[in-house]
């Protein structure tokens, strides 16, 4: 079987970590199996879909290293969906409904007050032609529902195992509705998704578990339209300490993480592994994640998404990042400098700060009595050229001469040379500063 998967975001906003996890899992699976990855833009909602978001989705996926083989837009396939709707009508599986949103809302509330689930009562299915004509004369426009067969929909989910759902627990889904200011009847996602998955030969539908009941309904649609039913895989959702992760919780947009200096592989490393039985580790490339990918490792409990964990992974990756990976982002910085400071950085932006500290002017944070001590260290400074061993040789000479040790010995030197109490190792900073600048700062 040829494996074809799709990632199907709606361009009504930017990608957030939940979407990206779905994209990444689809991608890792298809790259492992060998096959095609389709980027499907779900833009049937023409009011809320924006080109700016479609561009943003492409940009974010590219930044992450998630490549796609083909791209489709639902807004360009309305004809296909209308044709499918005709097929359903011919089978008496599509019926016109005239309830207004307000009427449906009242019905749902009445059911809820009796402790019943909000299942549509199929009142419109019983309408005679005269009643329909009367509604139309009143100016009501119909929407169309799919008549579910009363049968059990079952599938073997690669994460959830056997899933079984009865149609009697569900409403007949709306497939066509009046949409947009032009008053046109348009196909909605439920139908569009099945037509696309069927016609574009999607072998595996991998998405969040919020789509489980969609899958049940869609199985009947696949069958009614004569398509093979794809293999379904539903991932448990992500949650944060404060609850479920949704588009409404701000700060989880991928571009916000990027702007905050998070590396793409930190995002990938975390999202490939949370919610699985594998430990989260920092990976500097996607290849090992592809090789180790397996749906059997995914659990059914919600996966914990924690920004602090992302930051930790990011630091680990930053500390090993080769100069070539940062050169363009830090145009002033040279390789020797990068290799000397990277192990102590919390973010890429900090490298620039340390560049200024080494090459610019600093204000020493040194107390007056330490200033006298620091001056006396000048006479023990080794001769040039300096390397990583210079610092230890220097301190070995200063120690007996001044009778200081530990923090008392090194902290005044650090404060005099950098103006900071923390930072990259002094043994690495010393050669970057050079003898003249060190003498100048010690005597200031």
Which positions touch ligand GLU (CB under 6 A)?
Answer: 8-10, 42, 193, 207, 211
Q: CA-based diameter of the chain, in Å?
A: 108
Which residue number has the CB closest to ligand GLU? 42
Report residue 336 as tokens.
């020797």
Closest separation in Å from C-beta 232 to ligand GLU: 10
Looking at the Cβ atoms of 9 and 412, the one nearer to ligand GLU is 9
Interatomic CA distance for residues 133 and 136, integer angstroms = 5
Looking at the Cβ atoms of 246 and 284, the one nearer to ligand GLU is 246
Q: Which helix (H) or strand (E) holds 4?
A: strand 3-7
Looking at the Cβ atoms of 7 and 293, the one nearer to ligand GLU is 7
Looking at the Cβ atoms of 194 and 345, the one nearer to ligand GLU is 194
Closest separation in Å from C-beta 193 to ligand GLU: 5
Report residue 358 as tokens.
């080494």
Looking at the Cβ atoms of 9 and 264, the one nearer to ligand GLU is 9
Looking at the Cβ atoms of 9 and 173, the one nearer to ligand GLU is 9
Report DSSP state, residue 155.
E
Count other C-beta atoms under 10 Å from residue 113's C-beta: 8
- Residues 6+ away with beta carbon under 8 Å from 434: 384, 386
Looking at the Cβ atoms of 10 and 171, the one nearer to ligand GLU is 10
Report residue 171 as tokens.
């409403």
Residues, the chain: 444
Looking at the Cβ atoms of 210 and 392, the one nearer to ligand GLU is 210
Q: Do the beta carbons of residue 144 and residue 95 sit within 8 Å?
A: yes
Report residue 241 as tokens.
């300490």
Closest separation in Å from C-beta 12 to ligand GLU: 9
How many Å separate Cα 291 from the centre of its chain?
Answer: 21
Closest separation in Å from C-beta 209 to ligand GLU: 12
Buried b (16+ CB within 10 A) or exposed e, 197-216: bbeeebbbbbbbbebbebbb
Closest separation in Å from C-beta 311 to ligand GLU: 27
Closest separation in Å from C-beta 219 to ligand GLU: 13
Interatomic CA distance for residues 365 and 184, integer angstroms = 71
Looking at the Cβ atoms of 132 and 211, the one nearer to ligand GLU is 211
Interatomic CA distance for residues 347 and 257, integer angstroms = 12
Closest separation in Å from C-beta 113 to ligand GLU: 31
Closest separation in Å from C-beta 8 to ligand GLU: 4
Q: Do the beta carbons of residue 235 and residue 212 sit within 8 Å?
A: no
Interatomic CA distance for residues 147 and 126, integer angstroms = 12
Q: Residue 38: name the closest of 73, 76, 80 by CA.
A: 73
Closest separation in Å from C-beta 255 to ligand GLU: 17
* Measured distance between the N- and C-terminal CA atoms of the chain, rounded to whole angstroms: 74
Q: What angle do CA 43, 49, 51 make, to 5 degrees?
A: 100
Reduced to 3 states (helix: H, G, I; strand: E, B; else coil), residue 421 is coil
Looking at the Cβ atoms of 45 and 315, the one nearer to ligand GLU is 45
Report residue 175 as tokens.
């497939």
Closest separation in Å from C-beta 208 to ligand GLU: 7
């Amino acid at each position: 079987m040829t494996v074809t998967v799709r990632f199907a975001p709606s361009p009504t906003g930017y990608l957030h970590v939940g979407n990206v996890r779905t994209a990444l899992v689809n991608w890792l699976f298809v790259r492992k199996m060998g096959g095609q990855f389709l980027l499907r833009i779900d833009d049937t909602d023409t009011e809320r879909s924006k080109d700016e978001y479609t561009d943003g989705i492409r940009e974010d996926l590219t930044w992450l290293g998630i490549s796609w083989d083909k791209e489709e837009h639902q807004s360009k396939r309305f004809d296909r969906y209308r044709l499918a709707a005709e097929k359903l009508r011919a089978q008496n599986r599509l019926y016109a409904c005239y309830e207004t949103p307000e009427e449906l809302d009242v019905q749902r509330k009445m059911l809820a007050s009796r402790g019943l689930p909000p299942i549509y009562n199929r009142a419109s299915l019983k309408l005679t032609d005269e009643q329909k004509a009367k509604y139309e004369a009143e100016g009501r426009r119909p929407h169309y529902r799919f008549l579910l067969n009363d049968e059990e929909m079952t599938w073997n989910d690669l994460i959830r195992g056997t899933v079984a759902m009865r149609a009697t627990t569900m409403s007949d889904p709306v497939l066509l509705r009046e949409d947009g200011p032009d008053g046109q009847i348009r196909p909605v996602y439920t139908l569009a998704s099945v037509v696309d998955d069927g016609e574009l030969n999607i072998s595996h539908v991998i998405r969040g578990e919020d789509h489980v009941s969609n899958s049940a309904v869609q199985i009947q649609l696949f069958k009614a339209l004569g398509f093979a039913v794809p293999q379904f895989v539903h991932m448990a959702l992500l949650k944060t300490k404060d609850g479920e992760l949704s588009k409404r919780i701000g700060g989880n947009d991928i571009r916000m993480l990027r702007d905050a200096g998070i590396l793409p592989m930190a995002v990938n490393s975390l999202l490939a592994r949370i919610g699985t039985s594998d430990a989260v580790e920092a990976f500097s490339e996607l290849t090992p994640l592809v090789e180790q990918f397996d749906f059997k490792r995914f659990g059914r409990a919600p996966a914990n998404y924690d920004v602090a964990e992302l930051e930790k992974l990011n630091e680990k990756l930053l500390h090993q990042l080769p100069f070539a990976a940062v050169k363009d982002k830090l145009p002033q910085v040279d390789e020797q400098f990068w290799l000397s400071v990277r192990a102590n950085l919390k973010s890429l932006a900090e490298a620039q700060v340390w560049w200024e500290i080494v090459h610019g002017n600093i204000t020493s944070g040194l107390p007056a009595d330490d200033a006298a001590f620091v001056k006396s260290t000048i006479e023990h400074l080794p001769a040039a050229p300096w390397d990583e061993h210079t610092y230890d040789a220097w301190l070995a000479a200063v120690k007996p001469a001044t009778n200081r040790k530990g923090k008392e010995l090194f902290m005044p030197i650090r404060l005099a040379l950098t103006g900071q109490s923390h930072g990259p190792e002094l043994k690495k900073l010393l050669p970057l500063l050079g003898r003249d600048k060190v003498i100048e700062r010690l005597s200031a």
